[in-house]
Chains A and B, each alone.
Chain A
Amino acid sequence: MTGTIFSPQMFFAIFPELFLLLIGLIIFVLDLILNKEQRKTLGWVMAFGLILDIGLSLLIAKPGTESQLIWGGMLRFDRLGFIFRMMFLFAAAITALFATNLDQLGRRGEFYILLLGSTLGMCLMASSADIIMLYLAIETTSIPLYVLAGFLKDDDKSTEAGFKYMLFGAMTSAIMLYGFSLIYGFSGTTNLYNLVTFVQQGQTSPFVLYGALSLILVGFAFKISAFPLHFWAPDVYEGAPTMISGFLSTASKAAGFSVLARVLMVSFTQLTPYWVIILAVISIATMTIGNLLALAQKNIKRLLAYSSIAHAGYALIGLVAASELGLTGLIFYLTVYIVTNLAAFGAVAVFEKTSGSSEIASFAGLSRRSPWLAIMMLVSFLSLAGMPPFGGFVIKFSVFAAAIQQGLIGLAVIAVLNSIIGLYYYLTVLKVIYLYRSEDENIPVPMSKSFVLGLSVLSIGIVLMGTVITPWFNMAQMAAKSLW
């Protein structure tokens, strides 16, 4: 099952990645030519390039129903990976678009290059079928993100965020690598799809397998900010530039999930009873801790950080169900969640640009200052809370359904109770926006073109995903089917 070593068609399979490199090259050149004022356009170039990339990939690089291992078994060309890659490209496009108008980010070419590098790593993560490839992809993703988190070098908090993120990241990544090395040492293979036969044979003591799997899970849990490796998220999200926090909490997290799903459900499918229990515990702890700690937050970025921890917990339900519906639910969940959370962070970034503060209290009077921005926050927060007619309701419904299908009523009930805590703090923010008055009420919140465009696309997306459900659901279902 190693697959063909090389054939020219394989270039089509990695077309999105090749195009990414091209965009990077263009931006690199433009960065040299343009002066500081003109560099604002780089964000538009990048966003446009990435959207073009998505469009072209859908035309020429879309995998069929047959999945195949390519590049000597390093990558797997399937729909699961493809959908995740498109999500990452979309998230990067939105992030670049929003960054355009943020002075400290948008006028620097290296910001976009780093963002592209990280996106490239994520794309490879989603389709890698080999431990070595996987590790390289994870590092390619992470290292630019460490820099991006600490990008505002005059800001102590940002520097702290970058450093903290790097330390935790490096540590967990080392532990994960140790797990990988054990796996390779005992099985003699690095291919995820060959590993499954090795696990099935059961010649190695289960202790070793469980141990190695647990070590690997450490690295993945860090990526998706799941308990007990969630504690970096609030500090990093708070300190990092807002749009980078948005990118971390969406694309980076989804990339972690894509890898988690592939490794667990393909390579370790034999050990399902074992990891299901671990993941169930992690899922419950993650959502409960995320939600409970979110209650006490005064800063909106920290609140969104804890909320994103909680959402990782809900999404994990899809994996715990370990069924086709569960995986479909997970993919659907991440799709909607990316769009919703980007909108939330985007709206926060717009406001932060005017007010200079990300304290929840400073959002008072927003509905009088800018009714449209207030509505966009309403849409994204209610979607996060799982309210119809927004996407959040449908994804909540599908992961609950996946749990109940497997008879995991207890898990579903805990998740349901958690979603009530979630509703409480999302509503608290909306209350500040709509109810409280502030002295700055007469100061409007200007929104630049890139924000208007980005937020409109995202808001409409949230409503579309919540009402016209079928295409998204079917897409997720097809992706789920392609895993095996």
Chain B
Amino acid sequence: MQFPILSFIVFTPIVAALIIFLIPENRKAEVRVAALAAATFALTLSAWAYFSYDVSVGGYQFVEQVTWLPALGISYKVGLDGMNAPLILLTGIVMFTGVLISWGIDDRPREFFTFLFILATGVFGVFVSLDLFMLFFFYEIAVFPMYLLISIWGWKETREYAAMKLTLYLFVGSVIALVGAIAMYFAAGLGTFDMLQLEHAGFSRTFQIIWFPFVFIGFGVLGGIFPFHNWSPDGHVAAPTAVSMFHAGVLMKLGAFAALRVGVMLLPEGAKVHMNWIILLTLVNVVYGAFIASVQTDFKYVIGFSSVSHMGLVLMGFATLSKEGMIGSGIQMFSHGVMTALFFAVVGMVYDQAHTREIPKLGGFRKVMPMVAIAFIVGGLVSMGMPGFSGFIAEFPIFMGVWKTHPWIAIVAAISIVITASYIIRVIGKVFYGSLPQEFVGHVHDVTVLDKIALVFLSLILITLGVFPGWMVPLVQSGVQNILRLLGGA
């Protein structure tokens, strides 16, 4: 039997969470060290799984299956393919850097890391699951810790409102998709929740057309699809830094990924019919999100809305149902995850020093925290889709795919690139350049070594992927091939 690496990845965080909770409350240093150790371990495992995936073989690898509830055909089944491997790696990265950046949390760090790691288990579980029941099981595990994380450690002004809004939005989406999933189970008549079997269940066209919107939009809520994106900027802003990173970096991918895996892959005929209008929703995401971002004065809201815009691109790529579009989306999920984690880390560091996020009040931070400024510029270039950075590798194919299928949408969507450039450059100029306001002189200091490690780590990944895309593109391509087979074309 091969080493059950995926199960190790899924259960490492939750076991760590239990251990951390057993550490006495006042031993805060031990709690942090334990958290970092667990995160490092999880990152190592996920990198190992990622790099030992054999692209030349393709398909699902490291598959493990254990029956769970045979009476209903539920099993614990996990596997890795080209679509979820980058996301596993992404989760490992964000978990690791998230712990580094949360080092300074002083209010009940034990509870904080416990909830954060339960969340991580949920996320890992969804990405690797090949069983529909299991997917929901982990999906909801990923939702509820969010509520506590935001409402307890979040930004005092809006945390209660934002946490509740976020949780309810996500829960609505998830239960509606759940109804769709159960309907699929009975319609298939196979008596199994195994997604690989359900792929070949041969659902009738009518069935697919009726249920596709439930499932796709239900999960799409977590992906931030317009008009259900509203929870996301509020949630990002209210959350503590590490949670924002997790949230925008990983959780939103969870929604997009589940929408793809359950919606598009199980109901391909429905996808073909409905994507024609769903792509319009994503267009609104892309353009409208960018416009809103450009008029925000709160630093964190700028990033929050930029996530809405970028996630719109991910969903748009899926909506083209074309090879280029989906490859781009697959890479964009990874690239945006790392980039937005970097952004939120930077925002958090600036806020911790300045105690304000109002862009007009900030300025000249390049002088006190040069590293942070550079990291933000790297993230900004990724965000604009500059060649040489991962954003280009991701966005270019998406636009190609959209151009191929819906040229007009591609033209309109391209506006967003310009707007993105405008707000990113504005933020860089206002926050990091210019002169340091008088009240900050002497009060603002450089960030800690741990913070720097996190920033350098994230920036390097973005640059490496941009300069040398070969370590991810073929992998995603193999995953997309599988989806295209289900869609019947190519």
Contact = CB atoms under 8 A, between A and B. Distances in A.
Interface of A: 367-368, 371, 375, 382, 385, 387-389, 393, 397, 400-401, 404-405, 409, 412-413, 416-417, 419-420, 423-424, 427, 430-431, 434-435, 469-470, 473-474, 477
Contacts of B183: 404, 409
Nearest to B107: A368
B151 A416 contact: no
A197 to B, nearest CB: 32
B111 A367 contact: yes
A68 B171 CA distance: 46
Interface of B: 21, 25, 67-72, 74, 108, 110-111, 133, 136-138, 140-141, 143-144, 147-148, 151-152, 160, 163-164, 167-168, 171-172, 175-176, 178-179, 182-183, 185-186
Contacts of B108: 367-368
A79 B137 CA distance: 30
Contacts of A413: 176, 179
B167 A469 contact: no
Nearest to B167: A427
B147 A470 contact: no
The winner among A387, A388, A431, A470 for most chain B CB atoms within 10 A is: A388
A393 B174 CA distance: 12
Contacts of B176: 413, 416
Given A404-B179, A473-B69, A434 B138 contact: no
A30 to B, nearest CB: 39
B68 A469 contact: yes
B137 A388 contact: yes
Given A388-B137, A401-B72, A469-B69, A412 B179 contact: yes
A387 B144 contact: yes
Given A385-B144, A424-B168, 15 more contacts: A371-B110, A382-B144, A387-B141, A388-B140, A389-B141, A393-B140, A409-B183, A416-B176, A420-B171, A434-B148, A434-B151, A470-B67, A470-B71, A473-B69, A473-B72
Contact of A435 (B25, B110, B138, B152): B152
A424 B137 contact: no
Given A413-B179, A470-B69, A371 B137 contact: no
A389 B137 contact: yes
B133 A397 contact: yes
Nearest to A422: B171
A439 B148 CA distance: 22
Contacts of A423: 167-168, 171
Contacts of A424: 164, 168
Nearest to A406: B186
Contacts of A371: 25, 110-111
- Main SS of chain A's interface residues? helix
Contacts of A375: 21
Nearest to B175: A416
Contact of B178 (A368, A416, A469, A477): A416
A393 B137 contact: yes
B70 A470 contact: yes
Contacts of B74: 469
Contacts of A434: 111, 148, 151-152
Nearest to B25: A371
Contacts of B71: 470, 473-474, 477
Nearest to B147: A427
Contacts of A400: 178-179, 182
A165 B147 CA distance: 38
A219 B41 CA distance: 59
A372 to B, nearest CB: 9
Contacts of B144: 382, 385, 387
Contacts of B70: 470
Contacts of A435: 151-152, 160
Nearest to B133: A397
A408 to B, nearest CB: 11
Contacts of B163: 431
Contacts of B148: 430, 434
B151 A431 contact: yes
A470 B73 CA distance: 11
Contacts of A412: 179, 182
A88 B453 CA distance: 58
Contacts of B147: 427, 430
A470 B68 CA distance: 7
Contacts of B178: 397, 400, 416
14 contacts: A367-B111, A387-B140, A387-B143, A393-B140, A401-B186, A413-B176, A419-B175, A420-B172, A420-B175, A434-B148, A435-B152, A469-B74, A470-B69, A473-B71
Contacts of A473: 69, 71-72
Minimum-distance CB pairs A-B, first 7: A416-B175, A388-B137, A404-B182, A469-B69, A401-B182, A387-B144, A388-B140
Contacts of A417: 172
Contacts of A388: 136-138, 140-141
B65 to A, nearest CB: 15
Contacts of B185: 401
A268 to B, nearest CB: 27
Contacts of A416: 175-176, 178-179
A473 B133 CA distance: 15
A377 to B, nearest CB: 12
A57 to B, nearest CB: 25
A359 B144 CA distance: 24
A405 B178 CA distance: 13
A431 B153 CA distance: 12
A201 B147 CA distance: 57
A367 B147 CA distance: 15
B18 to A, nearest CB: 11
Contacts of A409: 179, 183
Contacts of B143: 387
A378 B176 CA distance: 24
